[in-house]
């Protein structure tokens, strides 16, 4: 497949005419658009609507209207589940078209895009099943009262989603919100909006009522900020970088409204001397190079025990050099292009800084000019060895196909190095020792820990971080907590006792 071969169904989503607001495709208020670049070629192949505060306000008002009307918020939960299941089926039916759009939009390999689209359907199916299982409590309370503690949909939910997994991570947010009965206004990244606009149209066709799932495109400044500061947004969920996350949190604090943040990571991946080196090197490569390393939970800091350091690093470099960096629509592609020229320059700058600080560049870096590398935004799988904890490349999120390798001697040192950054999103450990594994699960300051594994994020379990990686959780039944509120009803079982009786 190449970019000139458009799969059946993709053409209908390739040139969006506007946002999806209140069940309709609505042109942006100012009539402005943003170009959509193919990261692998640099070609502008589409345009998306450029929204602003007026578009956001229109979408929020539509969401509020639908929520108050109750066609979704007060619908039979089983009905919501059936509609979400139909939505998932529509995603599956359009999977090849959506994967093609995702690859052209993001630069990721077509195989990975297919996995993202299938994963999106699985997320919707999970929350379809959960819709009728959102339970509260009942109890006899003191004073001869009967208490009902109920979960209710939180109301109008604003969601801001990232460019690296446009539909998949987006579904981590909109699926549980819809499951709970909320009405959603979602702003996708301006770099990768096509599949989210398509999903909003598919949701309508599947039976999600108008005004319940609205998608407004635009930049963070023009559309994201107005959504964060809108007074009629009851809950805001954000996935993105730490700097923007702080701005979002400040805006929500001023409004005294709840917020869920999933922010950056600098995740440690520890390889102990009793690990299976073949499995560990394969897992380490997958942990950092999957999705071009543009992954918040990427295992970007390898910590390797001294006794196996040289052998392990040699095997890792061998694996990195063997990765097929090809045009993303080529079925053989194992790693694609970075999202933008600006981002590719940022990645390259970090590698230069790392080398200047004393790290050793073992492989990778900017690709040679020629073939498909002459256009687009490319960076080869990169391994930096001899990295020290004080190096910037050890501390700061690069968000690209660059892994740092640091040697440790003792288990205590490994745990201390793993925890020695401001982040706490994910971590991994490779060992055949149950004791070591259990110690890592207990002592690693992280919201997610893989043991002899790296990167799978099944929807059935929660995902989120600690420290500067944010708070609140996507996925699992725990995501329901973000999109519901508690209401207590106290019902007197006896005549009211007149406190002021004479």
Active site residues: 262, 296
Query: By three-state DSSP, how is residue 3 classified?
Result: coil
Residue 404 main-chain phi, psi, to 5 deg: -100, 145
453 and 249 in contact (C-beta within 8 Å)?
no
Strand partners, 24: 21
Secondary structure, 3-state, 24-74 = EEECCCCCCEEEEECCCCCCEEEEEECCCHHHHHHHHHHHHHHHHHCCCCC
CA atoms within 13 A on the CB side of 137: 9
Cα–Cα distance list, 490 to 135, 153, 204, 481 (Å) = 17, 20, 38, 22
Decide: helix, strand or coil at residue 148. Answer: strand
In angstroms, rounded to a whole number, what is the distance separating the alpha carbons of residues 442 and 179?
Answer: 32
**Does residue 285 contact residue 414 with C-beta atoms inside 8 Å?**
no
Residue 306 to residues 237, 256, 309, 428: CA-CA distances in angstroms?
42, 50, 5, 18
Helix (H, G, I), strand (E, B) or coil at 436: helix
Cα distance between residue 310 and residue 64, in whole Å? 60
With tokens 């500067």, the residue in question is: 468
Taken as a whole, the chain contains a residue count of: 502
Is the alpha carbon torsion for 429, 434, 436, 440 positive or negative? positive
Torsion of CA 116, 117, 123, 126, to 10 degrees: -130
């Amino acid at each position: 497949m190449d970019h000139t071969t458009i799969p059946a169904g993709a053409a209908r989503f390739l040139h969006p005419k506007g946002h999806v607001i209140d069940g309709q495709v609505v042109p942006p208020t100012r009539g402005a658009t943003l170009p959509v670049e193919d990261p692998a070629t640099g070609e502008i192949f589409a345009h998306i609507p450029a929204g602003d505060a007026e578009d956001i306000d229109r979408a929020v008002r539509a969401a509020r209207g639908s929520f108050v009307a109750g066609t979704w918020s007060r619908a039979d939960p089983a009905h919501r589940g059936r509609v979400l299941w139909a939505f998932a089926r529509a995603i599956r039916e359009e999977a090849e078209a959506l994967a093609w759009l995702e690859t052209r939009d993001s630069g990721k390999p077509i195989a990975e895009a297919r996995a993202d689209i299938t994963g999106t359907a699985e997320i919707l199916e999970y929350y379809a099943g959960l819709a009728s299982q959102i339970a509260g409590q009942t109890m006899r309370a003191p004073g001869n009262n009967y208490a009902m503690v109920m979960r209710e949909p939180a109301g109008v939910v604003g969601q801001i989603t990232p460019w690296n997994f446009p539909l998949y991570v987006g579904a981590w947010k909109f699926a549980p919100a819809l499951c709970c009965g909320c009405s959603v206004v979602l702003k996708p990244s301006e770099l990768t909006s096509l599949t989210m606009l398509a999903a909003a149209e598919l949701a309508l066709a599947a039976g999600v009522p108008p005004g319940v799932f609205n998608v407004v495109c635009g930049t963070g400044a023009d559309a994201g900020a107005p959504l964060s500061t809108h007074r009629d947004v009851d809950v805001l969920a954000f996935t993105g970088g730490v700097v923007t996350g702080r701005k979002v949190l400040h805006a929500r604090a001023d409004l005294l409204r709840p917020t869920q943040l999933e922010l950056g990571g600098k995740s440690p991946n520890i390889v102990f001397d009793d690990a299976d080196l073949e499995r560990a090197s394969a897992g380490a490569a997958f942990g950092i190079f999957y999705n071009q390393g543009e992954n918040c939970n990427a295992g970007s800091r390898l910590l390797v025990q001294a006794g196996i350091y040289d052998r392990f690093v040699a095997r890792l470099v061998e694996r990195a050099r063997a990765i097929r960096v090809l045009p993303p629509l080529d079925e053989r592609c194992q790693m694609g292009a970075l999202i933008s020229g600006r981002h590719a320059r940022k990645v390259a700058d970090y590698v230069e800084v790392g080398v200047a600080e004393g790290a050793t560049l073992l492989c990778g870096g900017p690709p040679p000019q020629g073939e498909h590398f002459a256009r687009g935004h490319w960076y080869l799988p990169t391994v930096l060895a001899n990295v020290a904890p004080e190096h910037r490349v050890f501390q700061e999120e690069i968000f690209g196909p660059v892994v740092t390798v640091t040697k440790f001697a003792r288990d205590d040192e490994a745990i201390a190095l793993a925890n020695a950054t401001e982040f706490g999103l994910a971590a991994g450990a490779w060992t055949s020792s149950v004791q070591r594994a259990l110690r890592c699960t207990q002592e690693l300051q992280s919201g997610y820990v893989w043991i002899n594994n790296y990167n799978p994020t099944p929807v059935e379990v929660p995902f989120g971080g600690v420290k500067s990686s944010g708070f609140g959780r996507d996925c699992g039944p725990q995501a329901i907590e973000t999109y519901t509120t508690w209401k207590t009803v106290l019902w007197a079982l006896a005549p009211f006792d007149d406190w002021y009786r004479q």
